[in-house]
Amino acid sequence: MSDSLKDKIEEALQTVHDPEIPVNIWELGLVYELKINQGTVWITMTLTAPACPVAGEIIQEVQQKVEAIEGVKEVHVTLTFDPPWNKEMMSEEARLECGFL
């Protein structure tokens, strides 16, 4: 796995924001797994709430931004709620920004 491709994907994911919380999905800890194999990317992610009204938009944005990266051939985004997301999954920086620390 190319670290530079992984870095580019992580950077792209840091530009996707949850509209409810002014923090990107990477710092929120919404991305559970990121696998890359010969240009095919698998992302397993969750949302802050199962009833998130913009779930489709967030997943579509993740798909589009990762597909736009040079070297990415295919993107598969899987949504899961197991385990359920909680504030402990956020980066320390994100928790500080949201006032959770």
In order along its 101 residues, the chain shows pLDDT tens digits of 446 999 999 999 999 998 878 899 999 999 999 999 999 999 999 998 888 888 899 999 999 999 999 999 999 999 999 999 999 999 999 998 888 77
Tokens of 25: 């999905």
Residues 77 and 59 sit within 8 Å (Cβ to Cβ): yes
Q: Could you read off the pLDDT of 86-96 as tens digits, one per residue?
A: 999 999 999 98
Owning domain of residue 71: 3-89
Residue 95 resides in a domain = no
Q: What is the DSSP letter of 3?
A: H
Residue 65 resides in a domain = yes
Q: What is the CATH number of the domain that holds 9?
A: 3.30.300.130
Residues 32 and 56 sit within 8 Å (Cβ to Cβ): no
| DSSP H or E stretch at residue 11 | helix 3-13
Q: Are strands 40-45 and 74-79 parallel, antiparallel or unpaired?
A: parallel
Percent of the chain clearing pLDDT 90 (strictly above): 72
Number of domains within the chain = 1
Q: What is the DSSP letter of 101?
A: -
